[in-house]
Structure 1
Amino acid sequence: MCFRGCAKCLGYSLIPLAVCCIVANILLYFPNGETKYANDNNLTNFVWFFHGIVGAGVLMFLPAAVFIRLEHDNCAGCCGNVACGERCAMLSSVLVALIGLAGSGYCFIISALALQEGPYCMTGTTWEYPFANGNGGYLKDHNLWTSCLEPAHVVEWNVILFSILLTLSGVQVIICVVQIINGLIGGICGPCCCGQEYSMKA
């Protein structure tokens, strides 16, 4: 029971993280609350990967739902044995956790790449990636940020939101890894399967 209780807590923790990732990704489309840059496609290419909306967002509701339901799920029994069904449910949660790990890992990687490349902005007369070849050095040298003239404060906007996505997806990765370990231990070391009588009173 403690393994499934742990999974339930992990599932509930994924929901607010996923919602925050969706919101952060959506905000990236509207620097300073303006829509014209999205309409003119003057945004960094990485916002079109939908890494926060899909990868660390919508996709994460699947493992969250499965983890929460584990406390009452026994896969309708297995070999006619409730204990075996609970073991199967724990092991199946590992597969779902791997899906969550893929989604959150995808968001983490895209966010890291976006931070390294920097924003797409106007630097005088042209739109470009002024920090693309700096290996993320602009993150430490705030004096360079003034080279982006439009959208106003786009560097701060991108750095804050991509950093939020990087951090939240990193937490999701940890949660999914914890559930993979929890599911394996709960499935392998849980009640014996298909050979012993299971009783809730024992």
Structure 2
Amino acid sequence: MFGRTLGGMHAATLALPDLTTQARRLVELGLGRLAGLPDSAIHDAVASVEVDDALLVPGPALVTPSALAPLVNRADKPGFVVVDMTDLDQFGPIPGVDLPDTPFYLISGLDRGDEMANWSPDEALPAITGAGRTPLTVSEGIAWLLQQPDRLEPNHCFMTIGSRLRKPNGRLDSRTPAIWISGGTGRDGRERKGAPKVGWCWAGNRHTWLGFASAAQRRSL
């Protein structure tokens, strides 16, 4: 399933910038200010790391996904979180998704999951884990778009089902985070047409324009 080509292009075939370039990008976006870190700490995190084609991820304990979302830019428009997802930062990793306990970490083998477009999250999760892969969290999906905003394309966007909200009774909330392109309708506002949008979909629903982002592995820094 993973690694096929869709429409002549596949997310996994597009190499990421090297880690030094990624760190510089995060500094330019103002991550240090958001996280309360000196810019040198971001550069130092990757200074001695020699890994090719891996994504540098600021951990959710360092900076929340709601704070990261506006740093994503598409068509000169900043990203935003839908108004009915005020609890985005309470979404945590699902069982089986273990995040490194470090301010920054790496993920490799990224795949947008185009082949699973029109699958529901409930259908996609066992397929991802059954292939020995791990679904991206919403913070990881946003971090990917900070480095490669062109991974968000019309009709080829993605869910980040590695994050879910746990209710007080222990059950999972039915919403699953997703990142796509705003049509500028409804409460988004016309001025946001074409902007990156962090929203949600029901776990049992299918959407033709949403794949399921996943990775091969995570590693600490």
What TM-score bracket applies, with the shorter chain setting the length? under 0.3
Larger proportion of strand: 2
Given the two structures, how large is their TM-score scaled by the length of structure 2?
0.25
Larger proportion of helix: 1
Given the two structures, how large is their TM-score scaled by the length of structure 1?
0.26
Q: Based on CA coordinates, which of the two structures has the bigger radius of gyration?
A: 1
